[in-house]
Structure 1
Amino acid sequence: MKLYKTLLTLALLGLSINAYSIDIKRIDASNYDQKNGHVPANLLDNNNSTRWAAAGKNNWLLIEFNHEEKIDNMVINAFKSKERFLSFSLSYSLDNKTWITIPGQFQTASVDDKLGEKFIFSKPITAKYLRLNTFGTNYNNWSAINELSFNSSAQLPTQTITL
């Protein structure tokens, strides 16, 4: 069983600042572009040159945390984020059986491709599992994310997800 610790590194005035987030036990996907190596594990490799990608309008990522976590925010570094806006929805669970759906559909905005965008929950959620459902972009029916992290302290463009 592989344990992932996501890491976001920012470059400010030539300095490196690391913001560690919560432990992720595993990540699965309903679909991915295996032919081009765009597998789910790429979301956690701290490499903006790699990505998870899937064709179609109804794909999901299932993130399992090491244990129940209080989640304040989620950082999505969407592929080509300056020109493509990824649509998604979110659900979370404590047992992978009973799911709470967060109302609404969300969309990434035009941000720096290297840093990503922080989605702040209006109140923290407690989850062992999080499901990110993707619906393609304004450009095409592909969903693609370079990096994904949670509870980041990085200063990034933000959107609030109202619960």
Structure 2
Amino acid sequence: MLFDAEEDGTIGSRLFVDAHRYPLRQTRAMLNFDMVGVNAAPLGVAAHAELIPLARQVWPGVRVFGDEPVNTRETFGRSMNVTGRSDHLAFKEWGVRTAFVHRGLDVNYHATTDRTLSPALVTQAAVFATQLAETALKAPWTPDGPCEGFSSKGC
């Protein structure tokens, strides 16, 4: 799924989440891709605590943002706290497990020169995410009971 207006306040993803509150309780994980086609840094992920071991299982060398020193982390939306500006934030606020797949910001981020995309890097991120999604679907999981994790927004 593609969301619009992420940079304007995650408008598209918030509209989706608001329109689909009940089915979200049955969502195993939301995988968000951002800056995966640039060669800024090795592939990394910030994920719900239950998804991190699965990410390491399918991609042992994956960079986990929580493992890096705080002063080197980019934190817009990847920390475990409900903060940030990326599309998975609205899902996190409703208690959905999320994985933020990211390579880092390159020098062209939000510039008119931001025209470079590596199909090989995008493919690598897609392979990782596909394996993570398949593993998450097979892993034991019990969704929260009715409205648990959703009380701040109501059901």
TM over 0.5: no
Choose between structure 1 and 2: higher helix proportion. 2
Alignment TM class, shorter chain as reference: under 0.3
Query: TM-score, length-normalised on structure 2?
Result: 0.27
Choose between structure 1 and 2: higher strand proportion. 1
Query: TM-score, length-normalised on structure 1?
Result: 0.26
